[in-house]
Amino acid sequence: MASMVVVHHKQPSSTSTLLSSSLSDINGARLTASVQYKRKSWQPKGALRVTASSTKKILIMGGTRFIGIFLSRLLVKEGHQVTLFTRGKAPIAQQLPGESEADFADFSSKILHLKGDRKDFDFVKSSLAAEGFDVVYDINVDPKSRHKGKLETESLLQSRGVNWTSIRPVYIYGPLNYNPVEEWFFHRLKAGRPIPIPNSGIQITQLGHVKDLATAFIKVLGNEKASREVFNISGEKYVTFDGLAKACAKAAGFPEPEIVHYNPKEFDFGKKKPFPFRDQHFFASVEKAKSVLGWKPEFDLVEGLADSYNLDFGRGTFRKEADFSTDDIILGKSLVLQS
């Protein structure tokens, strides 16, 4: 599970009263959604209205790959002054699929850039102190511990008396996703290939749309109830691996796929990863975020997958070329067993 920390400059005067959260039912994807669903421009439902007095100076560490692209746009639309801190290796602004020239030009004219290396602590300290940011969006960068380090970050901020909020997404998907989540399925569906899924295929998982995640980040700004709290952010419904394969097909307009189950212990794939998800149940309740933040996902699973497909893979754009080498190993053995 990824984790992002929001650091607020001003200290709130009160803490929140948390409501109990409960797991949503396991219905999988809602396959009745229309696969033709499209948005010409993105404006989240119930978007916050920002006044001049509530405008904040916001720093995003990174922000040019996936989540930060959508978060920075939403922050700018809400009237905040947004600065991206990067090494300058990637363009600060890139036009989103389906974004008009006018909207892109408006965003590009407002986004600011602070170039530097976050490992240069003296530069970071002096630069940030000079700017006086109200809010900092950051991620864990411990290369040795992807998960323990994130928990330790929360403990450190708590011990220093910093006003912080931690956002914990599960699996994130959506246009421009650089992780092969939905793209892995789309490649196989487009090629008309069977979908190899480890073990029984009834492992339960959960996906959240990147735009819903960006909206959650906005919801914690200036929210006293979010002070020193941790929120799981993802979709409202859980889905099995088999159900996800079928949901991707439904969203993209492909026939229901042939699914082949296999035992991973019977194969040696070397360093290659034959399946993009953990081979286990992996999900979390989002009830706390809904009750405390007033946040609610805009996308159900099939609708969100359709949004991702229509604005990205369906246009012929993707991050990684298809690699079916592990599939061929699995399918080759399956054919031998069947014969």
**Calpha distance 125→128 (Å, rounded):** 5
**Calpha distance 161→173 (Å, rounded):** 34
**Calpha distance 169→231 (Å, rounded):** 8
Q: Looking at the domain assignment, is residue 220 inside a domain?
A: yes
What distance separates the 2 farthest-apart alpha carbons in the chain? 72
Contact present, 12 and 224 (Cβ < 8 Å): yes
Q: Looking at the domain assignment, is residue 27 inside a domain?
A: no
Q: Looking at the domain assignment, is residue 330 inside a domain?
A: yes
E runs forming strands in 105-246: 112-115, 135-139, 163-169, 171-173, 195-198, 204-205, 207-209, 229-233, 239-240
Q: For residue 220, how many C-alpha atoms fall within 13 Å in the half-sphere facing its CB?
A: 32
Which three-class secondary structure state does DSSP give residue 81? Answer: strand
Q: Looking at the domain assignment, is residue 127 inside a domain?
A: yes
What is the total count of domains within the chain? 1
Q: What is the pairing mode between strands 81-86 and 135-139?
A: unpaired
Q: Looking at the domain assignment, is residue 77 inside a domain?
A: yes
Q: Looking at the domain assignment, is residue 37 inside a domain?
A: no
Looking up residue 152, the CATH number of its domain turns out to be: 3.40.50.720
Contact present, 59 and 137 (Cβ < 8 Å): yes
Contact present, 30 and 297 (Cβ < 8 Å): no
Q: Would the pTM count as exceeding 0.85?
A: no
Q: Looking at the domain assignment, is residue 19 inside a domain?
A: no
Q: Looking at the domain assignment, is residue 146 inside a domain?
A: yes
Structural domain span for residue 231: 4-13+47-338
pLDDT per residue rounded down to tens, the chain (339 residues): 556 666 665 433 332 222 222 333 333 433 333 333 334 445 544 444 444 448 888 898 888 788 888 889 989 988 999 999 888 888 888 888 888 999 999 998 999 998 888 888 888 888 777 778 888 888 655 445 455 556 677 777 777 778 889 899 999 999 989 888 999 999 999 999 999 999 999 999 999 999 999 999 999 988 999 999 999 999 999 999 999 999 999 999 999 999 999 999 999 999 999 999 999 999 999 999 999 999 999 999 999 999 999 999 888 888 889 999 999 999 997 654 453
- Could you tell me the sign of the dihedral formed by the alpha carbons of 1, 83, 119, 159, in that order? negative
